[in-house]
C-alpha cells in the first residue's frame, strides 16, 4: 500500500485548510459586522432614551426624538437573529409606554434598556 510522499500530504492538508478558511471566514466577518451594527443601534437607543427622559414632552425636539426612537427600535428588532425580534418588539413597546407617561418611571425604563442589551 502506497501512502504517498510527505509533500503530497502537506499539499493536501494545505488545500483542505484553505477551503475551510474560504468557506467560514466570510461568515464570521458578516456576523461581526451585524453585531457591531446592533451595538451601534443600541447605543443610539440609550442616548435617545436618556434625552427623552430628561426633556419636557411639550418640546418639539422631544417629539422628533420620540419618533426617531420608535424607528430605531423597529430597526433593532429586525436586526436581531431568530425569534428575538418578537422579544425586542415587546420590550420596545413597554419602553415607549414608560417614556410617554407624564412622569416617566426611570426604574422601568432602566430595566427595559437592560433587557434590550441582553438581546444582542
- The phi and psi torsions of 119 (rounded to 5 degrees) equal -80, 0
Q: Cβ neighbours of residue 87 under 8 Å, at least 6 residues apart?
A: 119
**Three-state secondary structure call for residue 57:** coil
pLDDT at residue 94 is higher than 90: yes
- Place 2 in a pLDDT band, splitting at 50, 70 and 90: low
Dump the DSSP string for 27-67. HHHHHHHHHHHHHHHHHHHHHHHHHHHHS-TTSHHHHHHHH
In the block, cell 443601534 appears at 41
Quick: pLDDT tens for 26-35.
767 777 888 8
Q: Return the percentage of the chain with pLDDT > 90, whole number.
A: 32
The C-alpha angle 89, 92, 97, rounded to 5 degrees, equals 130
Amino acid at each position: 500500500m502506497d501512502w504517498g510522499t510527505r509533500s503530497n500530504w502537506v499539499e493536501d492538508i494545505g488545500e483542505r485548510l484553505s477551503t475551510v478558511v474560504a468557506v467560514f471566514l466570510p461568515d464570521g466577518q458578516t456576523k461581526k459586522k451585524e453585531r457591531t451594527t446592533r451595538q451601534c443601534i443600541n447605543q443610539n437607543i440609550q442616548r435617545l432614551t436618556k434625552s427623552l427622559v430628561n426633556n419636557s414632552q411639550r418640546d418639539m425636539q422631544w417629539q422628533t426624538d420620540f419618533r426617531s426612537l420608535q424607528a430605531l427600535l423597529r430597526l433593532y428588532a429586525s436586526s436581531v437573529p431568530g425569534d428575538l425580534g418578537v422579544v425586542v418588539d415587546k420590550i420596545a413597546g413597554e419602553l415607549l409606554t414608560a417614556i410617554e407617561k407624564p412622569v416617566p418611571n426611570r426604574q422601568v425604563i432602566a430595566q427595559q434598556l437592560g433587557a434590550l442589551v441582553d438581546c444582542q
